[in-house]
Amino acid sequence: MIQLTQLHKSFGELEVLNDVNLQVDKGSTVVIIGPSGSGKTTLLRCVNLLEMPTEGIVEVGASRLVFSTDQQPSKQAILSVRRQTGMVFQNYNLFPHMTVMQNVMEGPLTVLKRSKAEASVIAEELLKKVGLSEKAHQYPHQLSGGQQQRVGIARALAMEPEVVLFDEPTSALDPELVGEVLKVMKEVASEGITMVVVTHEMKFAREVADKVVIMDQGSIVEEGTPSYIFEQSTNTRTRSFLRSLS
């Protein structure tokens, strides 16, 4: 579903991604972990092209985009990748002046050109899925952080994306609200939606990931199943990162 090949990203002189190669299979959940500043968020943003890679190849579904110093993909190719990728942000990024229902309907209405009736059926179904049917007509500020993030997930799913990218979806939440968001993410994963998740929640990585990817200083240190990464890896950088958490 996703293939990144020899991806590089620099911000001016600062090289943030250095030759990243990653494959995400259809229907799988890939969890990216690693020290702060290692490039995890930038990697995610390069997949849906909120950041443009400096060099490399980004493939999402049937789209294949090549970036190099003298080649940039067309606007249309970029839009097609964005259409296939839903994003859940650390700070929810809901529209504050719209109700929960309107937030979820917005993408189907404006991007997918669904009718109001269709968009409203989609939104009702998704709000039921994330357990927020009764909040449909409230505004984001009337909701807890956990509830707002569940709306964020419903909104991403409403775009019928091929893959959903989660950028530290629980880092802004009070600890007691983390569980309800992880529970919804687990359900989404179990439905076979392709997911890439940047998170500090190691329990989620252990239980839900098909593949765990360790990043450090802009590179992928190693990747493997949760049991390999958490129990068997002898890589010094992996071990040192995991030790720093306990």
Regarding 192 and contact with ligand ADP (CB under 6 A), the answer is: no
For residues 133 and 219, which CB has a smaller minimum distance to ligand ADP in the complex? 219
What's the distance, Cα to Cα, between the start and end of the chain in Å?
34
Regarding 16 and contact with ligand ADP (CB under 6 A), the answer is: yes
Q: Residue 11 CB, nearest distance to ligand ADP (Å)? A: 3
Looking at the chain, how many residues does it have? Answer: 246
For residues 38 and 149, which CB has a smaller minimum distance to ligand ADP in the complex? 38
- To 5 degrees, how large is the angle CA 120–CA 89–CA 241? 145
Which of 20, 31, 40, 220 touches ligand ADP (CB under 6 A)? 40
Q: Which stretch binds ligand ADP (CB under 6 A): 11-19, 69-77, 170-178, 187-195?
A: 11-19
Q: Residue 237 CB, nearest distance to ligand ADP (Å)? A: 14
Q: Residue 172 CB, nearest distance to ligand ADP (Å)? A: 14
Q: What is the DSSP letter of 165?
A: E
Which of 6, 25, 26, 37 touches ligand ADP (CB under 6 A)? 37
Dist. CA 106–CA 115, nearest whole Å:
11
For residues 68 and 171, which CB has a smaller minimum distance to ligand ADP in the complex? 171
107: how many CB neighbours lie within 10 A of its CB? 22
| Residue 108: partners with Cβ closer than 8 Å, 6 or more residues away | 114, 118, 119, 122, 123, 158, 159
| Residue 192: partners with Cβ closer than 8 Å, 6 or more residues away | 27
For residues 14 and 117, which CB has a smaller minimum distance to ligand ADP in the complex? 14
Q: How many residues bind ligand ADP (CB under 6 A)?
A: 11
For residues 11 and 95, which CB has a smaller minimum distance to ligand ADP in the complex? 11
Q: What is the DSSP letter of 216?
A: E
Dist. CA 160–CA 225, nearest whole Å:
27
Q: Which residues form the interface with ligand ADP (CB under 6 A)?
A: 11, 14, 16, 34, 36-42
